[in-house]
Amino acid sequence: MRNVKFKKLLIGIIILIVLTPIGLILPEKFKSGGAWGEWSADEIEKILGYVPEGLKRLSKLWSSPITDYTFSGWESGVKGYIGYILSGIIGIALVIGISFLIGKFLVRKNGNT
């Protein structure tokens, strides 16, 4: 397998990243909410009328820097789409970097050629 081939696959991934706003636009068009069972504590309160104690406690455990692939202040419209693409670029750069390092570490000196 030569690197040239991987470049072509990487271009495929980049095209997909640019298209990701479809994943925002379609649910908006069809007036769909989020995924079932992935509500925030606030949304749970609206559904149930209260927030379960443990859920309240654990849901505050971690606050992610780019929650829901959205940059604060860039929530809606075109800015939302651009933020979504940027999130994709950041996330994918990270997963490529990390899996590459883990992969390199695992195959070091394993003698497979």
Partner 1 sequence: MHIPDGYLGPITYGSLWGGIIPVWIYASKKIKEIFKASHVPLLALSSAFSFVIMMFNVPIPGGTTGHATGATLIAILIGPWAATLALSISLIIQAFLFGDGGITAIGANCFNIAFAGAIGGYGIYRLISGARGKGQGVKTELRTPNSELRTRQLIGAGIGAYVSINFAALFAAIELGIQPILHTGLDGRPLYSPFPLSITIPSIMIGNLLIFGIIEAIVTILVLIYLRKSHPELIRG
Query: Which residues, 17 to 76, sit near partner 1 by CB under 8 A?
Result: 17, 19-20, 22-24, 26-27, 29-41, 44, 48, 50, 52-59, 61-69
Residue closer to partner 1 by CB (options 36, 78) is 36
Q: Contact at 8 Å (CB) between 107 and 39?
A: no
Q: Contact at 8 Å (CB) between 85 and 18?
A: yes
Q: Min. distance of Cβ 1 from partner 1 in angstroms?
A: 5
- Encoded one letter per residue, x for contact with partner 1 by CB under 8 A and - for no contact, window 84-113 reads x--xx-xxx-xxxxxxx-xxx-xx--x-xx
Q: Min. distance of Cβ 74 from partner 1 in angstroms?
A: 14
Nearest Cα to 65, choosing from 42, 90, 43?
90
Residue 80: CB atoms within 10 A of its CB come to 19
